[in-house]
Structure 1
Amino acid sequence: MSLPIFWLQPDFSMAAVLLFFRLFFEACFLALQQLFGNKLRTLLSLLGITIGIWCVIMVFSAVDSLEYSIRKSFEQLGDDVVYVNTMPWGEDPRENYWKYMRRPEPSYRDFEAIQANCQTAGKTSFSVFIGGSNTESKLGQAAGVFYMGVTPDYKDIFGLEFEQGRYFTPNSFFRGQNEVVIGYEVYKALFREGESALGRWIKSKGQKLKVVGVLKKEGKDLINPINFDNVAIIPYNTARKYINLGRSAMNRGRSSISVKAETEVDVEALKTELVGVLRASRRLPPKEEDNFALNTLSILSNFLSSIFGVINLAGLFIGGFAIIVGVFSVANIMFVSVKERTNLIGVKKALGAKRYMILMEFLIESILLCLFGGAIGLLFVYLAALAVTHFADFPIFLSSYNAILGLSIAAFSGVIAGIIPAYSASKMEAVEAMRAGR
């Protein structure tokens, strides 16, 4: 098959541009004729494209929304923070459960060693999780308040913001004073909303604590690594009054060390230095493997990306079948359209129309038909996203990227569906076409 001279030597003159727009608008007009002249046939044929685009883009939109919600929930962990734990986040805990159970918990001695010897660490925090406890004030009660003891840098590492009051003073940490910072939901349960809680006393586990701060409301995220709305934060030395911080099995999983990298320091460089500092602190022989794990947000991000990639591929695979059916349906419309306009094709050829003009005319018509089906599919995606957001309380959005992707898939489907009918129309001879069209 020889290529038209128009494709080999493109003509960008004003006449060629005007001709292209004339062909384009004529193809649009004929496409609309197909839509409104044979409504039922056209809509049934476009149903495959519509369903296919709906399936693919709905899955992509749901996954993007889910990924956005999860990543937003993880933002409080910080992408420049290294977490010292007993096991790595990216591994199935069932694979080496007993190995990790034998590892010692991150200790306050480890925390002090990092503070003293790690040059690439900007801020370091040690936190101990005391667990849930019923809490009461003179005005109300709150069940299952999550208590945790922290060191001074905890506020800066996790970016705590305050609705009322302040964080603890250095003296509060040093003396282990009975002071507490509470989350917004705890504040609403214990006090009248709108009133100041500062200076008020609350009671938990036999200890009276003075409220010095109330955290800003976080709201509901899909995943909350730490639910600061339902937390009560106290100084580390105050927490020692609540629980025994020894190596008891009852205390496993309660302590954590968070290390924020110094400004302009690479996280990997921080991790490398932390390995040396922790091995020295724990007096590990050179040949013995590390008995700790250093985790970063990138581990979770990579894990999530692989999962969402598989889900997206599954959505493309499922929607692809509907799109293939739609391509065959549109191709059928185009063959019928060519058959109905055979006489008109012959007249155009007799009047001097080139092969590429006929081919372009039918190809544009096919693309426009598929774009129409794709637009309907995107409309259904938008309506479904609104319904899910309203009734399921889970925000789903149709991004501009997914909308453009959906229309691009529809346009490509139009090219595939229309290329053979358009080519067969362009090959017709003028006299034979006029005879066959009688």
Structure 2
Amino acid sequence: MLFLKVFTESVRQAIAQLTGNKLRTFLSLLGISIGIFCIIGVLSAVESLEDSVQGSLAKLGDDVVYIDKWPWKDNSGDWWEYYQRPYPDHDDYEALKERMPTASLVSYWTVPGVKTLKYQRNTVEGGFLFVTTYELNRMLNIEIGKGRYWSSAEYNGGSDKVLLGFTIAQELFGAIEPVGKTIKMGGRKYEVIGVLEAAGGDLINPLDFDDAIMVTYTNAARFINLKNRNRFGGSVAVKAKEGFSLEQVQDDIRGILRSSRRLRPRENDSFAMNQLSMIADQVSGIFGVLNTVGFLIGFFSIIVGAISVANIMFVSVKERTSLIGVKKALGARQFVILLEFLTESVILCIIGGLFGLLLVVGATMVLNSIFESFQITLSVKYAIFGILGSAVVGILAGAIPAGLAAKMDAVEAMRS
């Protein structure tokens, strides 16, 4: 009952502060609002950005080892040694496919360059030729929007069948149904058997095939010299079989490739083995730094706001000195006076924190309407964190003024 009376009086005094000198109170609470805006805004933006990036990277698969010429991480080694390495090629793919007991899938792809497509009078330039083995759709979960994937007979026979990326198909055919149509590429005729789903609006998309022209390796090998390791960059992907760790898969890959490439025991590996966790760790480190920077900016803003709120409370104590004396003369104890001013300080800071959250919500709505590919989400945990943080700041800002008010002598307070 006593706390309710103290809380009611504190709310009345806080409202009096807000309405009595609007400009002074607004400027004083501005620091709290900006601090909460910086902390919650940055944390929300960074979390949303990290979720978007990690979700995009997850498409690469956390159970897949990618064999490349260059490592995704730790490029501090001998650059010239990396440069001299051969790109993974179809021979590597065949060696691994035949001898890998720990792999459920092995796939190979290469990008020989850009091509021009023609359909009747329409021409599209700039599409990249993506040459792949049959396992690609299962390795990378390729989604077909229209039509179908190659059949095993079409792959083995090297049929002139092509899959088009979403953008390439739209530019070449417009409103015409592309599946079943015959196009020309490099003087050869191809039947379009499928169109891939649009890559989507992810901020980072490692599997963006919107401009891809996909043909099978067995088809492309008939008119392109794909055996040249240094002319075209290629990659081999190995998906771990259930029950086997990536470490076991990497050990098998190393042994098989060193043998097939005839590397001597003292020679370094002539290939790099990469996996999703390498990028994920680097991304987490970057976002950790961004979170720290945003928190520090907000922290210093809140300190400025806390000093301003403390100033308000000192003024409030001075203005109500005689009233404090009267209350003490009537029997009010120290903790009641202390609780009254602390509660008032907390309420003022919570009001400032609420304004800060409203700024975050407003900024989020504006940014989400501008950037469709990246949506910021304000989670409930950050909203609660903002309110609790404001309350803590209120306690710290009001502790000294409330302590001075509680220790006042009743007689001297009434005389002032």
TM-score bin, normalised by smaller chain: over 0.9
Corresponding residue for residue 357 of structure 1: 336
Superposition CA RMSD, Å: 2.1
Corresponding residue for residue 88 of structure 1: 71
CA contact (8 A) 2:183 2:191 kept: yes
- In the alignment, does 2:140 pair up with 1:158? yes
CA contact (8 A) 1:105 1:247 kept: no
Question: Secondary structure of the equivalent of 1:241?
Answer: coil
Of residues 65, 76, 100, the one that matches 2:82 is 100
| Alignment partners' CA distance in 1, 2:128 and 2:10 | 66
Corresponding residue for residue 107 of structure 2: 125
Corresponding residue for residue 370 of structure 2: 391
| Alignment partners' CA distance in 2, 1:387 and 1:207 | 50
Aligned length: 415
Task: Please give the per-residue CA displacement for 1:133-181, whole angstroms capped at 9, x wherever unaligned.
Answer: 1212126332211211111221011111122111111111111111111
Corresponding residue for residue 147 of structure 1: 129
1:157/1:215 Cα in 2 relative to 1: closer, same or farther (>3 Å)? same
1:26/1:119 Cα in 2 relative to 1: closer, same or farther (>3 Å)? farther
1:242 shift after superposition: 4.3
Corresponding residue for residue 177 of structure 2: 196
| Alignment partners' CA distance in 2, 1:408 and 1:275 | 53
Unaligned runs of 5+ in 2: none
CA contact (8 A) 1:198 1:212 kept: yes
Task: Please give the per-residue CA displacement for 1:158-207, whole angstroms capped at 9, x wherever unaligned.
Answer: 111122111111111111111111111122112243x5322211111222
CA contact (8 A) 1:104 1:247 kept: no
Question: Secondary structure of the equivalent of 1:229?
Answer: coil
How many percent identity over aligned positions? 45
| Alignment partners' CA distance in 1, 2:410 and 2:223 | 95
CA contact (8 A) 1:219 1:229 kept: no
Corresponding residue for residue 73 of structure 1: 56
Corresponding residue for residue 305 of structure 2: 326
Matches within 5 A, 1:37-436: 37-92=20-75, 96-138=78-120, 140-193=122-175, 195-247=176-228, 249-251=230-232, 254-393=233-372, 394-436=374-416
1:128/1:350 Cα in 2 relative to 1: closer, same or farther (>3 Å)? same
CA contact (8 A) 2:86 2:229 kept: no
The residue identity in structure 1 corresponding to 2:73 is G
1:392/1:166 Cα in 2 relative to 1: closer, same or farther (>3 Å)? closer
CA contact (8 A) 1:151 1:235 kept: yes
| Alignment partners' CA distance in 1, 2:2 and 2:140 | 63
CA contact (8 A) 2:114 2:126 kept: yes
Please report the TM-score for the alignment, with normalisation by the length of structure 1.
0.88
1:120/1:345 Cα in 2 relative to 1: closer, same or farther (>3 Å)? farther
| Alignment partners' CA distance in 2, 1:117 and 1:349 | 89
CA contact (8 A) 2:88 2:236 kept: yes
| Alignment partners' CA distance in 1, 2:211 and 2:168 | 6
1:373/1:397 Cα in 2 relative to 1: closer, same or farther (>3 Å)? same
| Alignment partners' CA distance in 1, 2:131 and 2:145 | 20
The residue identity in structure 1 corresponding to 2:66 is Y
Unaligned runs of 5+ in 1: 1-17
CA contact (8 A) 1:139 1:190 kept: no
Of residues 35, 47, 54, the one that matches 2:18 is 35
CA contact (8 A) 1:84 1:292 kept: yes
